[in-house]
């Protein structure tokens, strides 16, 4: 697959798997390469162009939360952000991942501290380190709460010019947005945040929840098994994932 090709990709990202079997059902997880979503784009129009043409009845459309944030105004301008010395100091203790600096960025730490408060953020960092030493990574985000793992941006070299100078926050009403997409475009929808450590389902449409038995928590857990491994990837501009049931044993 090439960087120039837009649309549904039939090959997985390097190191990823296209198919996943869960409870005897084989699922395909097709990344969809899209055009760049721009600040305050119309989300429905973006999805009509980039997701709807590849969606078949019975599919699940998974959407990266960053696209929702870009289109729906869940962002902060870097020029409006006052970064404290403490945020800069804390970056010394955060691990950087390839293609994903995570929270090793003072602007991102500052935004997170503004959201959850300094005491809780520091508590989450300490607790996260302890849990990681016990072989349980990802607890920093759980302890901090408020979906701060979905905060993105502030890395100029990773973003084209139109998106530089912004930090992107988790949508505050992801279930409602997923419901609106299902209602307006007829696609069972999940809004996701994925990184090198963990994946989170931020929101699900009602039709998708009902499909997996109607219980919100169990539906999320079932979907996470299907999309495990972050098949959307961290690079390549594939914020849409079409999940398709291929066969049952």
Chain-centroid distance of CA 202 in Å reads 8
210, part of any domain: yes
139, part of any domain: yes
93, part of any domain: yes
| Inter-residue contact 224 to 201 (CB < 8 Å) | yes
Residues 83 and 121 in one domain: yes
The number of beta carbons lying within 10 Å of the beta carbon of residue 213 is 10
**Cα–Cα distance between 108 and 104 in angstroms, integer?**
8
Structure pTM? 0.84
Q: Which domain holds residue 109?
A: 76-168
Q: How many domains does the chain contain in total?
A: 2
Q: Which of 168, 188, 221 is the last residue of a domain?
A: 168
Residues 207 and 243 in one domain: yes
Residues 68 and 188 in one domain: yes
Residue pLDDT tens, the chain, 249 long: 344 588 999 888 888 889 999 999 999 999 999 999 999 999 999 999 999 999 999 999 999 999 999 999 999 999 999 999 999 998 887 766 666 677 788 999 999 999 999 999 999 989 988 998 888 877 888 898 888 888 888 887 778 888 989 999 999 999 999 999 999 999 999 999 876 556 889 999 999 999 999 999 999 999 999 998 888 876 678 999 999 998 776
């Amino acid at each position: 697959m090439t960087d120039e090709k837009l649309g549904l990709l039939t090959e997985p990202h390097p190191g990823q798997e296209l198919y996943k079997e869960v409870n005897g059902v084989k699922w395909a997880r097709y990344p969809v390469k899209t055009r760049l979503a721009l600040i305050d784009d119309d989300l429905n129009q973006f999805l009509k162009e980039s997701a709807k043409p590849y969606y078949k009845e019975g599919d699940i459309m998974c959407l990266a939360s960053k696209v929702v944030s870009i289109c729906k105004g869940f962002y902060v301008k870097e020029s409006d952000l006052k970064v404290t010395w403490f945020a800069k100091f804390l970056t010394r203790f955060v691990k950087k991942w390839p293609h994903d600096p995570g929270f090793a960025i003072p602007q991102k730490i500052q935004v997170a501290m503004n959201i959850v408060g300094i005491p809780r953020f520091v508590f989450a960092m300490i607790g996260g380190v302890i849990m990681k030493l016990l072989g349980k990574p990802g607890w920093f985000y759980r302890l901090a709460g408020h979906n701060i793992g979905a905060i993105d941006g502030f890395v100029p070299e990773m973003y084209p010019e139109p998106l530089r100078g912004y930090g992107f926050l988790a949508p505050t009403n992801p279930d409602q947005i997923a419901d609106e997409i299902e209602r307006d475009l007829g696609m069972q929808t999940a809004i996701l945040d994925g990184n090198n450590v963990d994946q989170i389902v931020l929101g699900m449409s009602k039709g998708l929840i009902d499909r997996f038995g109607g219980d919100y928590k169990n539906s999320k857990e079932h979907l996470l098994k299907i999309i495990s491994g972050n098949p959307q990837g961290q690079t390549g501009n594939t914020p849409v994932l079409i999940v398709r049931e291929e066969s049952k044993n």
